[in-house]
Amino acid sequence: MRKQSFVLEVGKEERVLRGDLYAAENARRLPTVVILHGFKGFKDWGFFPHAAEALAERGFGVITFNFSMNGVGENPFEFTELDKFARNTYSREQEDVAKIIGEIKAGLLPPDGTLDPDRIGLIGHSRGGANSLLYALDDPDVKGVVTWNGVADVDIFPEELKREIREKGTGTVLNARTGQEMPIHREVLEDLEAHRERWNLLKRLPGWDRPLLILQGDQDAPRLVEGARQLHQAARKSTLQLLPGTGHTFGAVHPFRGSTPHLERVLEATANFFEEIL
């Protein structure tokens, strides 16, 4: 198994994308899967490296990466760039995904032909699920998407927090794992409002004709469970699998303490899906 790290610059602000490629040694033109993390997530959180390795062992080339404004910098396990986290919008995240996919299509990520630019699929966890679908809606070269406990409504912020942001310019959300108060700038809400139609997944998905696999733990937040059903109803080529007895991270924790039966079921279903469509 080969793991190769990379760094890319993206956007006019010279943002930095840090990522990893997982693939079999000396492989060429592998079907390609890109994994997108969610809100307060990062590429080295919990199950992501294990998931990437498991999918690579099934014959895929797998890319994981940190969104450029996710708050994680050179230290891959800590939120040391909260000023960037505060301004992380869907628009910037979509730019990030476009940069990754563009480099794959151009044969530059990596430049040795490991990945097949004609066979690309996306996986998104939580908010990353929404980002995967939003990108795929605009790029017909993405052959299909898998969401892992993905959000259907991109506006994930409670009304109380939004009021605080509008009144003060900035609000905060607690990172229960680290105890950090993580800022959210008004710019984030402005992006949601300025692109309301573009970010409206449930309105746009009926016109989308590529395969979607929705994997959703039934013990997750009720809005996400209901959102999974709504995504299934909206996307005509979708399959919904509700996973009984598991929640938002399929029983896995950070630091990673090993896989779980629920996570293995998710990885098996994901690999089978992409083996069929890529």
Per-residue pLDDT reduced to its tens digit, 82-96: 999 999 999 999 999
The CA–CA distances, whole Å, from 162 to 1, 175, 178, 200, 263 equal 45, 17, 23, 19, 33
Q: Which residue has the tokens 């939003």?
A: 134
Task: Give pLDDT, residue 14.
Answer: 85
pLDDT in tens, 113-124: 999 999 999 999
Residue extents of the structural domains in the chain: 2-155+203-277
Mean pLDDT on 172-176: 95
Calpha distance 2→115 (Å, rounded): 13
Token pair of 39, please? 């809100």
Which superfamily is assigned to 2-155+203-277 in CATH?
Alpha/Beta hydrolase fold, catalytic domain (3.40.50.1820)
Q: What confidence category does residue 12 fall into, taking pLDDT thresholds of 50, 70 and 90?
A: confident
What strands lie across the sheet with 115-125, from one edge to the other? Answer: 2-10, 15-23, 61-66, 30-36, 115-125, 142-148, 212-217, 238-243
Distance CA 114, CA 6 (A): 14
- State the Cα–Cα distance between residues 224 and 149, nearest whole angstrom: 7
